[in-house]
Amino acid sequence: MEKDSIQAVLLTESQIAERVEQLGKQISQDYQGNDLVLVGILKGAICFFSDLIRQVEIPVNIDFMAVSSYGSASQTSGVVKILKDLDMPIEGRHVLIVEDIVDTGLTLNYLKTNLLSRNPASLKVVALLDKPDRRQIDIQADYLGFSIPDHFVVGYGIDYAEQYRSLPYVAILDPAAYQSQAKE
């Protein structure tokens, strides 16, 4: 069973809700009067994105991108692929990337470079989680939910091999859960 592989709850549902509300208020203040597009990065950011847009108190447009650098592995491959691109043009618009986690920084760096080439008025990032100990590229989120230690985490949209996304909290996955799958 899914929950049997959870080593520990890192962030509770209420901790996440409180921080998402704070981020929504800050983003609303900072972008007041601007044409803002929130770009959710699928699939991991879906819970964060859904909760965040309900806390942003200004009109926004939304769009999604899907990228992959993991596949079903627990370590990034370092190769980023766009699986779904934006549906709307972002030229001249203020864009806020909504990301679940900044880990090595490779995916976020790729996304920022790609989106900046489309000439937005501004481009910033809001990330729920940051693992600074894993960083390979010097890149930071402009808005951050939580900085966490270097553990493999799941829940609140974040998966391992398409499992655990529906957990309402962020948890540390027992290494035995993904090490045993890697051997198969």
The residues annotated as belonging to the active site are 103
Q: What's the rounded Cα separation, in Å, for the pair 12 and 36?
A: 29
Q: What's the rounded Cα separation, in Å, for the pair 63 and 175?
A: 34
Q: What's the rounded Cα separation, in Å, for the pair 40 and 62?
A: 8
Q: What's the rounded Cα separation, in Å, for the pair 141 and 107?
A: 12
Q: What is the 3-state secondary structure (H, E, C) of 20-35?
A: HHHHHHHHHHHCCCCC
Closest C-alpha among 42, 97, 75 to residue 175: 75
- Contact partners, residue 2, CB within 8 Å, separation at least 6: 163, 164, 167
* Residue 113: Cβ-neighbour burial (10 angstroms; 0-12, 13-18, 19+): exposed
Closest C-alpha among 82, 80, 75 to residue 131: 75
